[in-house]
Structure 1
């Protein structure tokens, strides 16, 4: 028997009429880049996460690249990051010229907060916290260490849309948080997409400039930036899915609970839940 890891079309058929209407509305609008759908999605996503600002980005990797760039992370700097994460978490660091310093995971497969302090040196400038497999890292301890050593905190929330630590949403703890909307996520779009959240107006403004060729005004470029814009079509479709995110997450939780309770074989190591 061949069982697919993920059947992506199921989530489309669940809300097919809404997706198709939104897609046609966007296509008929004649506005496809940085328009009203992106603006409305950014407001709605910031409201969902609980931050002042949200910025639509073309993918999760570029969200990380822009985040570390906006914080001034550069060659000669060190960034603490867990060793069992996806390569994009590390590329966000190395593409800015900085050096990743790996920290082993804890029993929940997230960064071991108890080992973080042992890795801090005079070159350490930031911590990249990756909330893996839908679970949150120990943010209380991590923020305590960041404050003690005056370190920036970037949250990689590519796998933690809607996850809570002590009742507070991931994406609200650090200086900047980065999200991926790759189709396999519980908030996944129909292609590539991503976002950044922050409560810092200065960082928000800088990243908004960086995402659009370093420009805030057409043909006026303040610095060398990127083409890292979330497009109108994906933003519109994400708005539809965001309105159903809680029920989609609940469905995943029910499936996970069944796996945890009914898979009984030593050949499969089940995750521990924080």
Structure 2
């Protein structure tokens, strides 16, 4: 159906940048710059500078960034990696594909890893912590890094949803041994297909990822160092992402403005939790604007009928997907979140008028239900 308020509007997004994007693509095609050309190298340089690290390695997905980051710090069979279950499955799949065991712990009220639960999960086999900066909010990295130093274990940041978010002035993806980003089309910085990047200050991690992405080959010498994978970020995608990266600071400011508009429109509704948490060092960029209510499913249907498109991340806990072979770790907060959260329209193109319509519909829904009903 055609929504009055779409979750995102990729057609409008393209139209707003058409001249710049078409020029970048045409430059690649007219010059035959298709694989590993200067556009990719320039994008990597600009991304590294934006994140505040020495190296960025362009990859074809956020999953490969996670996989290569873990491999780069030596995660392998017999190791354990502590992370969360309230995340996209790629976070856990990367651990498993290293031959390691994911140790899933619960999340805090802001949907990020509950740092107070980390130390209880550490064993002699713990090789790394893998916090997920969900919805554009950085996890409690001061506490996480302190724990990691104390136990001499590495930290890999899943920053797929947090490009541009900061903690105490440091960018997501710049604090651990490596940061992992996704350029899936609906991210704050999205391509016209899949894509990702690993960021790091460690030259060995960067070199390993650079080789692994190209079937294990060192492109400068032609020597093969590993049985690698085909995971290079396409050159044309890199050119498009370079265009978009120049606009990203303005888009992030707009997202925070949209989030504030939602806050004003939705404050004071009983039994509705908003994603405005104490910014104890965090500067959130609102990849998703996630509200929480026990009436989630009924609210979502009401909004659909009113022409407002929403998404749910994720409708059931990861371990309930039997094909993944995960044991139930007993995480009550994760289970409750899966039942209760809903993401509202949020993008660089979302207008205040669309926000006002959406908040008006939500207020109407709750007014019909009465003040004390969950």
Report the TM-score, using the length of structure 1 for normalisation. 0.96
SS class of match (1:147): helix
Give the 5 Å matches for 1:177-192.
177-192=179-194
Q: Which runs of 5+ in 1 are unaligned?
A: none
**8 Å contact kept, 1:80–1:124:** yes
Give the 5 Å matches for 1:20-35.
20-35=22-37
**8 Å contact kept, 2:40–2:58:** yes
Give the 5 Å matches for 1:100-179.
100-179=102-181
SS class of match (2:138): coil
SS class of match (1:220): coil
Of residues 246, 270, 274 in structure 1, which corresponds to 2:274? 270
Q: Give the Å deviation of 1:97.
A: 1.1
Output the CA distance in 2 between the equivalents of 1:111 and 1:9: 35
Q: Give the Å deviation of 1:266.
A: 3.8
Partner of 2:313: none
Output the CA distance in 1 between the equivalents of 2:190 and 2:24: 16
Q: Which runs of 5+ in 2 are unaligned?
A: 280-374
Output the CA distance in 2 between the equivalents of 1:39 and 1:272: 37
Partner of 1:83: 85
Output the CA distance in 2 between the equivalents of 1:190 and 1:266: 40
Output the CA distance in 1 between the equivalents of 2:19 and 2:33: 21
Output the CA distance in 1 between the equivalents of 2:249 and 2:76: 38
> Whose radius of gyration is greater, 1 or 2?
2
The answer to whether residue 57 in structure 2 is matched with residue 59 in structure 1 is no
**8 Å contact kept, 2:72–2:204:** no
**Which moved further from structure 2: 152-161 or 249-258?**
249-258
Q: Give the Å deviation of 1:255.
A: 1.0
The answer to whether residue 242 in structure 2 is matched with residue 239 in structure 1 is yes
Partner of 1:222: 225
Q: Give the Å deviation of 1:210.
A: 0.8
**Which moved further from structure 2: 216-225 or 15-24?**
216-225
Q: Give the Å deviation of 1:99.
A: 0.7
Output the CA distance in 1 between the equivalents of 2:256 and 2:276: 14
Runs of 4+ displaced beyond 2 Å: 1-4, 217-220, 264-269
Q: Give the Å deviation of 1:268.
A: 4.0
**Which moved further from structure 2: 208-217 or 138-147?**
208-217
Aligned residue-pair number: 274
What do you get for the CA RMSD once the two structures are aligned? 1.4
Output the CA distance in 2 between the equivalents of 1:256 and 1:214: 43
